[in-house]
């Protein structure tokens, strides 16, 4: 019996390739975990179908280690997914693809699809975090996509762009975006310091995300003081990695990659995903077989003990004395959404 009653949101990592080197991305900050892979087209065609996922509301093409637009068969994949009747959400840096490539993308997508461009500043600052980004490429993408899909400008606030937030919002409006999203990142946690001992990317306190503070509290709390509210059991954010693993979430994939790379430093319960990795492999098993596997109940059993995998308490744990209704609320707290079109959907409705 599957612990995932219905898969409602599916998160696809089409590839672990990227052309950028954002310094706090998983692929750049933990390069030893990176294995270059493209989700094979035959796995996509056989596994990601309406029959396998009848309840999925949308497919989120973001990923942990790469950017979907660099999959060599990107257009064939999205054609297949649209034929299956899925609504798509693509999150991308928008660079190093020519305008004709974006025009083909726009022909395949439609108004039910959403494209989020990660643009962390203006033409003079975006490349400071988005290393190797090319501003004219982003404008080409925007020109092809605007009016065709629901288009979102997502800006992560850093010290070098925090003075540009309002200007970026107005630029987004003028360029024809439908929504502007401001993200308060939590990746300012002391691991990255400049020669003067301070974090060169860290914005002022109001723009630092709250997530880190909560996960620190969870780390320090006794297991009885944290309740785990598993998002995967609600069928949210079920993940397919570029290597073809079907996993309960994107964090399970990062843990899997970390434990494949360095099993000797992992705690025993964190090795659960590594030990069972063949069970998740879409090259060997069908979606139905994976979802129905009895071994999921082992994971479920760990959630109520002192031996939950570290990701489960960190990302789905809620401190008992915390006023959050659940872990997803934390993500929403670190987001500010601005609708740029009066006839657009309610901004909050778009957040998974
Ligand atoms: C590996 S990226 C994949 C998607 C795409 N390549 C992109 O960057 O938008 C996964 C997510 O991490 C986000 N991200 C990268 N650096 C970040 C940071 N320092 N703080 C918060 N989110 C970050 C990206 O914006 C994206 O939403
Ligand atoms: S664009 Fe996305 S995948 Fe590429 S390095 Fe930046 S955060 Fe990572
Ligand atoms: S972190 Fe654990 S409990 Fe949460 S979605 Fe992932 S596997 Fe499920």
pLDDT in single tens digits along all 352 residues of the chain: 466 668 999 999 999 999 999 999 999 999 999 999 999 999 999 999 999 999 998 999 999 999 999 999 999 999 999 999 999 999 999 999 999 999 999 999 999 999 999 999 999 999 999 999 999 999 999 999 999 999 999 999 999 999 999 999 999 999 999 999 999 998 997 778 888 888 999 999 999 987 777 777 777 777 667 788 898 998 988 999 999 999 999 999 999 999 999 999 998 889 999 999 999 999 999 999 999 999 999 999 988 877 889 899 888 888 776 665 555 666 677 788 888 887 766 655 545 5
Q: Is 94 near ligand 2, meaning CB less than 6 Å away?
A: no
**Is-contact 312 302, C-beta < 8 A?**
yes
pTM of this structure: 0.94
- Round to the nearest angstrom and report the end-to-end CA distance of the chain: 26
Distance separating alpha carbons of residues 315 and 156, to the nearest angstrom? 20
Residues in contact with ligand 3 by the CB-under-6-Å rule are: 228, 230-232, 248-249, 251-252, 311-312, 315-316
Distance separating alpha carbons of residues 155 and 165, to the nearest angstrom? 8
**Is-contact 45 93, C-beta < 8 A?**
no
Tell how far the Cα of 286 is from the centroid of ligand 2, in angstroms.
30
């Amino acid at each position: 019996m599957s612990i995932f009653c219905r898969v409602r949101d599916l998160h696809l990592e089409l590839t672990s390739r990227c052309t950028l080197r954002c310094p706090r991305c998983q692929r750049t900050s933990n390069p030893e975990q990176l294995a270059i892979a493209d989700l094979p087209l035959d796995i996509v065609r056989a596994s990601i179908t309406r029959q396998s996922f009848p309840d999925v509301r949308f497919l989120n093409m973001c990923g942990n280690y790469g950017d979907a637009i660099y999959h060599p068969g990107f257009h064939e994949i999205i054609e297949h997914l649209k034929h299956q009747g899925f609504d798509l959400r693509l999150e991308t840096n928008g660079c190093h693809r020519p305008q004709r490539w974006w025009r083909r993308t726009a022909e395949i997508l439609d108004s039910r699809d959403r494209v989020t461009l990660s643009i962390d500043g203006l033409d003079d600052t975006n490349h400071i975090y988005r290393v190797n980004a090319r501003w004219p490429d982003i404008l080409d993408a925007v020109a092809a996509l605007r009016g065709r899909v629901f288009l979102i400008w997502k800006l992560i606030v850093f010290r070098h762009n925090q003075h540009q937030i309002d200007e970026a919002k107005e630029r987004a409006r003028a360029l024809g975006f439908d929504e502007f999203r401001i993200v308060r990142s939590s990746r300012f946690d002391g691991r990255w310091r400049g020669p003067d001992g301070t974090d060169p990317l860290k914005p002022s306190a109001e723009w630092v995300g709250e997530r880190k503070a909560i996960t620190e509290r969870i780390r320090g709390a006794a297991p009885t003081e944290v309740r785990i509210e598993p998002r995967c059991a609600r069928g949210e954010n079920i993940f397919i990695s570029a290597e073809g693993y079907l996993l309960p979430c994107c964090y399970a994939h990062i843990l899997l990659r970390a434990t494949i790379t360095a099993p000797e430093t992992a705690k025993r319960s964190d090795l659960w995903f590594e030990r069972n990795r063949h069970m998740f492999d879409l090259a060997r098993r069908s979606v139905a077989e994976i979802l129905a596997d009895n071994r999921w109940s082992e994971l479920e059993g760990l959630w109520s003990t002192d031996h939950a995998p570290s990701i489960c308490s960190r990302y789905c744990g809620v401190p008992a004395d915390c006023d959050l209704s659940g872990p997803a609320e934390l993500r929403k707290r670190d987001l500010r959404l601005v609708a740029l079109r009066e006839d657009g959907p309610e901004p909050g409705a778009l957040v998974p």
